[in-house]
Amino acid sequence: MCRSGLLLLLLVLLRPAQLCAQKTDTIHLFNGDKIVGEVKDLKLGLLRVKTDYMATVYIEWDQVQTVLTDKRWYIRMRSGAYFDGHLHPSSQLDHVYIVRDGDSVHVNLIDITTLYRLNQGIWPRTDGSINAGYSYQKSNGLSQFTLSGNAIYRGDLSAVNLTFNSITTVQPEVPDNRKQDITLGYEHNLWGRWTSGFGIGAESNTELDLDLRLRANATLGNYVLLNVHASNIIGGGIQGNLEQSGSGEASENFEVFLGDRFRFKTYRFPKAEVTIDLAGYYGLTIRDRWRFATTTAVRYEVLRDVQLGLEFYDQFDSKPLDGGPSLNDYRIATTIGYVF
């Protein structure tokens, strides 16, 4: 009896301390509703909030009247500007104050495209997907394996992106055909919509007689489109290559390039995603050498976080290392993937 009484007293004493320590965020909607919980992030027009009474809910950003959160956020604006601070309500509808270092900035809520919680480790600020596909033709024994994926980590003023792609075609009495690529890139926000970055990677493609290409590049780009659902960055730079052909020819060369990267996503179920990457290269060391590469993917969610996809790539090289005629390679593949 005494032991039960002590346990009850301990619970009563600890309960207020837990409530005081708990930090809550408050979201007011235009329809008059008030939601209290823990704001997780804002991505693709949806505010993700974890509550005690409704589990995790997704709120359309244009339905939010104002927000109060004392947590520290990375805040990206439609103009390309970015802030590091807290969000406090404004007396003006659909506006909010970004409070940072004792100062505040008054902004329209709809101009905020991205919110990421700071000081929360790596995983909460990482998004990505992994996709796989397989096809088989009984008439000629042709099999094709596809594996691709990406992961992006967003820092305070930067992002790190890892991507990989692999397509292998196997057929009896025919040499295997492989196209593989892996890239690690770093992007840093400069001012407004301008950004800089560098990347390293490796690739091979038997159809282009490319046994291995090690590459490193530096880029400068501008987001010509940036909103809650889509982004499009155009940029260029210089790239250095160490290449070896399938016949043993080797080369160290430099290229200039111009590229375009388009992303479109919807976050509400069913999710849809379109990604397009285009790049053209002109040789500085190997004169009059042109290369072109494009990768396009369309994915649609069929189950929660499970997507069916259609992927297409095309690569062209006007001057292969062995001195032969220009080569071109393209493939289309269907995939099934998981989004995290």
**What is the chain's pLDDT, residue by residue, as a tens digit (340 residues)?**
455 554 444 444 444 444 433 458 999 999 989 999 999 888 878 888 888 776 778 888 888 999 999 888 888 888 888 888 899 998 888 889 999 877 889 999 989 988 888 766 777 778 889 999 998 888 788 899 999 999 998 877 788 999 999 999 998 888 888 999 999 999 998 888 899 999 999 999 999 999 999 999 999 999 999 887 889 999 999 999 999 998 889 999 999 999 999 999 887 777 889 999 999 999 999 989 999 999 999 999 998 889 999 999 999 999 998 888 999 999 888 999 998 8
| Backbone phi, psi, residue 76, to 5° | -110, 135
The one-letter amino acid at 243: E
Q: Given this model, what pLDDT does residue 23 score?
A: 53
- Please say whether the structural domain 125-339 has been given the CATH code 2.40.10.120: no
Cα–Cα distance for residue pair 111/50, rounded to 1 Å: 23
pLDDT in tens, 277-334: 999 999 999 989 999 999 999 999 998 889 999 999 999 999 998 888 999 999 888 9
**In this structure, what is the dihedral angle of CA atoms 166, 169, 175, 181, given to the nearest 10 degrees?**
-10
Q: Please classify residue 130 by burial: count the beta carbons closer than 10 Å to its beta carbon, then call 0-12 exposed, 13-18 middle and 19+ buried.
A: middle
Instruction: Tell me the sheet residues that pair with 154.
Output: 159
Q: Please classify residue 307 by burial: count the beta carbons closer than 10 Å to its beta carbon, then call 0-12 exposed, 13-18 middle and 19+ buried.
A: buried
Report whether 272 contacts 300 (CB < 8 A): yes
Domains of the chain, residue spans: 24-120, 125-339
Alpha-carbon separation of residue 283 from 143, 144, 245, 321 (angstroms): 35, 32, 17, 12
Q: Dihedral of CA 128/303/311/164: which sign?
A: positive
Q: In terms of pTM, does the model score above 0.85?
A: no
Report whether 267 contacts 273 (CB < 8 A): no
Cα–Cα distance for residue pair 99/83, rounded to 1 Å: 9
Q: Given this model, what pLDDT does residue 11 score?
A: 46
Q: Given this model, what pLDDT does residue 97 score?
A: 93
Query: What secondary structure does DSSP assign to 167-209, as a single string?
Result: EEEEETTEEEEEEEEEEEEEEEE-STTEEEEEEEEEEEEGGGT
Residue 268 three-state SS:
coil
